[in-house]
Chains A and B, each alone.
Chain A
Amino acid sequence: MSDNKIVQNKKWVLRADNLTRRYGSGCAYCSTITGPDHDTNQCQICNTVIACSGISFELGEGETLGIVGESGSGKSTVMQLVNLSVPADEGELWYRQSGEYDKEPLNLLTLDKFKRRTFRNQQLGIVHQRPELGLNMNFTVGGNVAEKLLMAGWRNVGNIRQRASQLMELTELPPTRLDDDPHTFSGGMLQRVQISKALSSNPSVLLLDEVTTGLDLSVQARVLDLIKRLQWELKIAMLVVSHDLGVIKQLATRTLVLKNGQIVEHGLTDQILEDPQHPYTQLLVSSTL
């Protein structure tokens, strides 16, 4: 493992070391002429886009880590890398079970496709900005929540429906609408369905990708309240990606600030919002309406 650690936390469940993702062939100059100092993440020589580079962090047990930055800063790429949906070009992504801190961690990037999918299903839950990315709109709400359970080998329809109803109650959705079409649900309700689906397999890490973007303010507040309650009740580790500093302030205890694919500042969320050090972070904080 690399020594490039951002926070020394012995009780981490997920740890990234120098994660890098490029789109393009890459050249010898890519790393020297891209990044926040050059105000671009595209190599002017080979046109490779360095979506993210040298991303390192630790996510502690029950902790919420925020990732903030403007559009194109690499937030969603980091989320995709952690969700194992795209391969990393460089770096390592370590995982260890909650409470098993003496055991050798597992490098997720070395897993084969089958094990990755199994891991993603059992240990990760993701909530996308757009519900249609996380839900199959041709299935009922219950069918969507049931998908992860069926993937985990549940084969009893009665038990599946009982579990799905429990999850709907947990996320403040009426269980009577279990067999309804997702098209009949509002945006905020669909985010709750996504959260129900993500929580169905009792994951170790919940990934939230711009969960409140596109929702009106009152619905945003209710979704954020729900996430905070789940965080408190389930003690689940969360990685929250948002360009909205208000969301990060509400949910995250620590925050990484990304610009042009690289981390420019990191620390406690309060500290970053109250006393930003990097000019880019200062700009972000001052731009808040």
Chain B
Amino acid sequence: MKYRRTIYCDLLSYNYVENDLQKDPAEFYKHLSLFWTDLIYLMSSKPQALTSVGPMRNFATNAKKIATELLEANDDLVEFNTRLTEYYQQLADTWAEAQKKVTAKIPKVPADQEQFEAYKRIWIDMFDNDFTELFDSKKFGDNYGKLVASELELSKHWEQVVNVMLQSANLPNKKEIDEVYKELHSLRKRVSKLESQLKTAKPRNITNDSRE
């Protein structure tokens, strides 16, 4: 509400715009965008009713959803980038630590075949040990879990955007298709149960053909 009020004032005074813009630019533009999306929708809804069977009417009705999803996706993108940076930081730190250990153990560059094989074995063992320790740690698990969760949030936003497009083309969205899958699964279970009941009602030694 605060921003909505401010935006109305913006039309009258440039100072309000400047103040809010300086306070929180992302929030300011988010609300500015939503304000105009809402207003254009209200202004255009009546003429649009003329084209109620075409794709644009559906699309315009749900256009706000796309704007909202894209704006919210930005927050999740920030979280995703934070987690991804932490992920690579953990890998880089572990690499540096493992390399230090290898260098401490074998300071000289291998010069013959035997030394090279020994160096390679130690390098692989130490790196595998250190990285396995990392992948097995709580800090890695925590960050990995949050990284995957933020990626899933981005997927959800994308799914919502595509749903709006599908709806505008009168095509079923993911939720509707999921309902069909669920219904089919339920039907398959019921058929299987009925077949099983039929089977137990019959004597054993049913031939292969009769099953198929």
| A and B form one complex | no
Contacts from A to B (Cβ < 8 Å): none
